[in-house]
Amino acid sequence: MADDVRTSLDALIRDSGEDYSSISRLLGRNPAYIQQFIKRGTPRRLAEEDRLKLADYFRVAEDRLGGRPGPAQISPASLIAIPRIEIGASAGPGGMAEIEERGLPIGFDAALLRDLGIRRPAALSIISVAGDSMEPTLRNGDDILVDRGIASPQWGAIHVLRLDDMLVVKRLLRDGGKNCLIRSDNPAYPDIRVNDSSIRLIGRVLWCGRRLV
């Protein structure tokens, strides 16, 4: 039975594109924990809390990981709290003001974050958009999920960057050579052409939510 659990967990990790160390960190364990469990049989059994987190994360029934039979469920334990960064005064059209304080976090399903390609949930923040320069894609007051764990832009995607001492949310486009365009989705705002080396990247926008009125 224990060998079946290890084989099953190993397959889930490989199929999801994860690795042993990332799943160990998900559990709050040392990076070698899952590798030791799968390859060396230490510990002999998964702790119940670890098993529940893994079943929630991979959206499988607990019995696949040595627990009780039953359908796959999403429990509150599988939600990852993402801090909300409260924004003060507007930083201008399409911009975002300086970070002032942290508000109440928002819980995201761990599997959803994985589907978004996020490897480091600790690098995530929720920020509110101010201004209309990214309409209709993003509207004033929208909450956006920002991944600050990226090292370079993904061309064509929406990013948060620092421009003239303001935090702004814009789309980044390649403009040949070492230049890029900082573009607003609202055509009323002109492109800004800059050298790649001058971009002060904060993070990439992966999700947005808004209140319906």
Which residues have CB under 8 Å from 4's CB, separation 6+?
none
Q: Which of 54, 56, 57 is nearest to 38 (CA)?
A: 54
Give, in order, the Cα–Cα distances in Å from 157 to each of 32, 109, 151, 160, 201.
34, 23, 14, 10, 13
The domain locations on the chain are 2-73, 78-209
pTM of model > 0.75: no
For residues 209 and 2, give the distance between their C-alpha atoms in angstroms, rounded to a whole number.
42
pLDDT at 73: 53
pLDDT at 61: 81
Give, in order, the Cα–Cα distances in Å from 184 to each of 91, 132, 142, 174.
15, 9, 16, 14
pLDDT at 96: 53
From the candidate CATH numbers 3.40.50.300, 2.40.50.140, 2.40.420.20, 2.10.109.10, the one assigned to the domain spanning 78-209 = 2.10.109.10
pLDDT at 1: 47
71 pLDDT band, cuts 50/70/90, is low
pLDDT at 70: 55
Give the tens place of pLDDT for each residue, 153-172: 899 999 998 887 778 899 99
Taking a C-beta distance cutoff of 8 angstroms, is the pair 127, 73 a contact? Answer: no
Give the tens place of pLDDT for each residue, 39-69: 998 888 888 888 888 887 887 888 888 776 6
* Assigned CATH class of 2-73: mainly alpha
pLDDT at 77: 52
Taking a C-beta distance cutoff of 8 angstroms, is the pair 174, 180 a contact? Answer: yes
Give the tens place of pLDDT for each residue, 75-133: 555 678 888 876 543 345 555 545 545 667 788 887 788 788 887 788 888 888 888 99
Fold: same for 2-73 and 78-209: no
Q: Which of 53-62, 66-75, 174-183 bottoms out in mean pLDDT, i.e. has the lowest?
A: 66-75
pLDDT at 171: 95
